[in-house]
Amino acid sequence: MSFTIPTDNKALVGAAVAALLVGVFKITFTSLSFFSMIFDLYILPPVNFKKYGAKNGNWAVITGASDGIGKEYALQLAKKGLNIVLVSRTLSKLELLATDIETKYKVSTKIVAFDASTDAPENYESIAKAINGLPVTVLINNVGQSHSIPVSFLETPDKEMHDIITLNNTVTLKVTKVVTPIILETLEKDKKLRGLILSMGSFSGIFPSPLLATYSGSKFFLQGWSAALAGELKPKRIDVELMLSYLVTSAMSKVRRTSLLIPNPKQFVASALRNVGRRVGAQEKYATCTPYFSHAVFHWAIENTVGLSSKVVNSINLNMHTSIRTRALRKAKRIAAAEAEKAAGKQA
């Protein structure tokens, strides 16, 4: 006796099998992604910077080097044995940092002071002059700017909008265009070396951030540019990497206290240099790394649940930045009132 499955039932069985296979694939892929992140974070040893010329007379160029994350990149790369070209706006801070680096780590330094927000041709000429003839192997693109407080796009001052795009995008591209040929010259002379171009990204560049629209867009641009550049330069032995961070205590973030999700610059940079070339939390992105452990888990969890570009994440960001803006405006109002009261007292 034979049994025939009705046509409608066959379709249902086929759909069920297809759904099961998709589910198995999703679970397998997600599990592999998670264990890959854990492997990167806790099992693999730190990256050896000798492949980038450390302790062999080579140089690293660092923009935004006088404070915060940029300063830490300078200190920690010097500790690894790279000579340092410090690029930032404030000459006095650069001079103090250069002295500190040379005293502590017995490496050489050079200083290039300019105001990056002007995007003047002489800025890039000064960098080209400083590195001419140097065996440069590493470039750290750290210069950047965000909004003073969260603000709607239509209310964003034109100067603030212009400065953000100039610092985060234009200056980064032009500095990279000046320094990369020097890195290629260095690699041509020593076939065993690799070059490294590392740029600072942001979580605002992987999920849209309402009330930080211009900043968020500038970081999305860096994400696409950096990945494309990585494809171009990989055959030439230059590793290009975008380092993603959530909040880090700094003048730009205006966050002073560390927490599980908020490291200080020293902690963040140590994780970044440890994990160069690894995706860690950025499992779905090429030439991108979310190096700090709690940021990595946060990034991975959002990507594998509601999705980085989902309406849920967009709404959460909007509510968070609305709250931050409200508190910032209240604080500014209190400060203005106190100053007005003080001025009135002096007049009396």
Bridge partners (DSSP) of residue 250 are 255
* Cβ neighbours, 10 Å, residue 322: 14
Q: Output the pLDDT for position 8.
A: 58
Sheet of strand 136-141: strand arrangement: 109-113, 83-88, 59-63, 136-141, 195-200, 238-243, 288-289
pLDDT of residue 348: 61
For the chain, which residues score pLDDT lower than 70? Answer: 1-8, 10, 13, 20, 22, 348
All structural domains of the chain, each given as residue ranges with its CATH number in brackets, are 42-325 (3.40.50.720)
What pLDDT, on the 0 to 100 scale, is given for residue 290? Answer: 97
**d(C-alpha 334, C-alpha 340), whole Å:** 10
The number of residues in the chain equals 348
* Helix (H) or strand (E) segment spanning residue 341: helix 311-347
Name 5's Cβ contacts closer than 8 Å, sequence gap at least 6. Answer: 13
pTM: 0.90
Q: Which residues are annotated as a binding site?
A: 202
Tell me what pLDDT residue 29 has.
Answer: 82
Annotated active-site residue in 52, 73, 215, 292:
215
pLDDT at residue number 2: 53
Tokens 């992604």 belong to 33
How far apart CA 249 and CA 268 sit, in angstroms, is: 10
Give 234-274 pLDDT, tens digit per residue. 999 999 999 999 999 987 777 889 999 999 999 999 999 99
Write out the binding residues for substrate.
202
Buried b (16+ CB within 10 A) or exposed e, 102-131: eeebebbbbbbbbebbebeeebbebbeebb
Taking the CA atoms of 242, 243, 244 and 249 in sequence, report the sign of the dihedral they define: negative
For residue 84, give both structure tokens: 């340092």
Catalytic (active site) residue 105 = no
Instruction: Compute the radius of gyration of the chain from its Cα atoms.
Output: 24
Which among 307, 290, 76 has a CA at the least distance from the CA of 202?
A: 290
- Angle, to 10 degrees, between the axis of helix 68-79 and the axis of helix 265-274? 50
